[in-house]
Amino acid sequence: DAGVIQSPRHEVTEMGQEVTLRCKPISGHNSLFWYRQTMMRGLELLIYFNNNVPIDDSGMPEDRFSAKMPNASFSTLKIQPSEPRDSAVYFCASQEGELFFGEGSRLTVL
Amino acid sequence: AQSVTQLDSQVPVFEEAPVELRCNYSSSVSVYLFWYVQYPNQGLQLLLKYLSGSTLVKGINGFEAEFNKSQTSFHLRKPSVHISDTAEYFCAVSRFDSWGKLQFGAGTQVVVTP
């Protein structure tokens, strides 16, 4: 299996632009998680889905952030409009027992 | 709510020497405990986990950890490190009923030198 696949790996954008991060979980995994990693706050859970349904989005920082999982093999995390403080590495992880992390999407908002 | 404290932000160690990374947690409910490793520009990989049973847990790459309930600790050890163990290590906890909702510590950077 290819593991959890995230795209893009790197994104540089300007403040105010829309950003969409994508994730393909491991086939057969029923739960999907979005985490964010920053120097200041470390690793924090943003949102997670179970069987494509959002279960807990209490970690989503504000209304500029939204996440969807239209089917079992795809999820998106969208930031609109983006701000410099959103600069971080965003990880997607899928779960069967343990969590399997993707390699992350490094976002830089100028 | 749970919290995790990793007591060392950076640990320098010589190759073939032992290393211990310290982790303390607090929680009002029973938890699962994890150690993850992150190599540069990569995602996190599970080293080991404690769910129940024996308090000494063995993981991949020669790592082991011991769960101490009375001291609320879950320290990670390796008897002899390699250069390739240079990475950041994260301790994490989760509630029994939500494995994937991990609360991470701040991380410990291990730098192995020859």
Q: Is B72 exposed, middle or buried (0-12, 13-18, 19+ CB in 10 A)?
A: middle
At CB < 8 A and 24+ separation, what contacts does A62-66 make?
A: none
Residue A48, chain B, CB below 8 Å: the answer is yes
Residue A1 has pLDDT above 70, yes or no: no
Considering only the beta carbons, identify the residue of A31, A33, A98 that sits closest to B46.
A98
**What average pLDDT does the segment B6-22 reach?**
97
Condensed to tens digits (0 to 9), the pLDDT of residues B71-80 reads 999 999 999 9
Q: How confident is the model at residue A74 (pLDDT cuts 50, 70, 90)?
A: very high
Question: CA A86 from chain center: how many Å?
Answer: 12
pLDDT, position B36: 97
Question: Are the Cβ atoms of A98 and B45 closer than 8 angstroms?
Answer: no
Residue B58, chain A, CB below 8 Å: the answer is no
Q: How far is B101 from chain A (nearest CA, A)?
A: 7
Considering only the beta carbons, identify the residue of B42, B46, B101 that sits closest to A56.
B101
Q: How many CB pairs under 8 A join A and B?
A: 45
Condensed to tens digits (0 to 9), the pLDDT of residues A45-68 reads 999 999 999 999 999 988 999 999
